[in-house]
Amino acid sequence: EEQQSQSRFDALIGDDSRIEPRDWMPEPYRKTLTRQISQHAHSEIIGMQPEANWITRAPSLKRKSILMAKVQDEAGHGLYLYSAAETLGTERDELNDQLLTGRAKYSSIFNYTARNWADMGAIGWLVDGAAIANQVPLCRASYGPYGRAMVRVCKEESFHQRQGFEILLSLSRGTEKQKQMAQDAINRFYEPSLMMFGPPDDQSPNSAQSMAWKIKRFSNDELRQRFVGMIAEQVKVLGLTLPDENLHFDEEKKQWIHKDLNWDEFMNVIKGNGPANAQRLERRREAHREGAWVREAATAYAAKQEQSEVA
Ligand code: 3HC
């Protein structure tokens, strides 16, 4: 029986078809998807914090409303992804508890602080740009609910990237000081955004299996190079530079060669010792505590509804 299910699963993966929640799947497939989708969801929710700090400081009403829309989008992306993760059998309360107790990972990038308004531009252009480069292939992930959630996320993410680029463009055309602010923000976010794609392929324990199961369609390094190639062109339009003077396209290897990245820093950040890890988790715990009354009210209301239906 199990043998039959395994070969049916292998055939679906082999045909590039979708695995749906009710389909039989190997437990390690379920486990790695729950791991990745929940971390992705946590990243969206924690990723709201750096920008939330700048909603009250936005330089104009237009910028404020755009930033609010972006942060709301990210909350929604988190909810789509928790829903997708739940179809694999783990309740979102459990997933949330993993985050609140520091047991769950979320994207390293959000452990860096946003120090001034130009950072909103760099986060939009670089962080959301990296997120798009990583998320577009995930639209074709073999697990149905995940791939479908990504289609919607990617549509909204491209607006996030454009608004970030536009912030940097207006700064780069402003005063000398504004231009320097934009350059400084790019200098600070360049390497951390490249590290979002994960460790180098030869230090990526999950990649081989994830690619065999067609969850991951391209390797960490492949997507990183693709992203670098994109921003290397876009930064010229800004009249600014990437902090990577040896960045070049290797015609033989047909790939972009960027500077070595600081993987010790990366491992340190994902262990919880980044510049902002503690404050991000503390803020998340505080928001969870402050939201308890909403959960209680919703539960009480649902119980009353049930009673009135029964009566
Ligand atoms: N931040 C934190 N942890 C990371 C990481 C990062 N940037 N990159 C890798 N890791 C962790 C992995 O989770 C894994 O640890 P685990 O086994 O305990 O989960 C370990 O480092 C080794 O990495 P691998 O390459 O073996 O792991 P994966 O095959 O899972 O690849 C990944 C890592 C490419 C990030 C993959 O998990 C992925 O594509 N995840 C979905 C995309 C995602 O999470 N994007 C978040 C971007 S931010 C965002 O979306 C918000 C945006 O709207 C601003």
Give the mean pLDDT per block of 10 residues along the chain (311 residues): 92 97 98 98 97 96 97 97 98 97 95 96 98 97 98 92 97 98 98 98 98 98 96 98 96 95 96 92 97 96 90 69
Cα–Cα separations (whole angstroms), residue 19 to 31, 95, 150, 226:
14, 22, 15, 28
Residue 116's region, left for phi above 0, alpha for psi from -120 to 50, else beta, is beta
Cα(196) to centroid(ligand 1), Å: 7
Distance CA 113, CA 278 (A): 12
Burial class (CB in 10 A: 0-12, 13-18, 19+), 92: middle
Cα(181) to centroid(ligand 1), Å: 29
The residues that bridge with 256 in the sheet, in sequence order, are 249
Residue list, ligand 1 pocket, CB within 6 Å:
35-36, 39-40, 43-44, 47, 74, 105, 107-108, 127-128, 131, 134, 157, 195-199, 204-207, 210, 216, 220, 270
- At 309 the pLDDT is 85
| Ligand 1 atom 42 nearest Cα | 40
- For the question of whether the overall pTM of this predicted structure is more than 0.90, the answer is yes
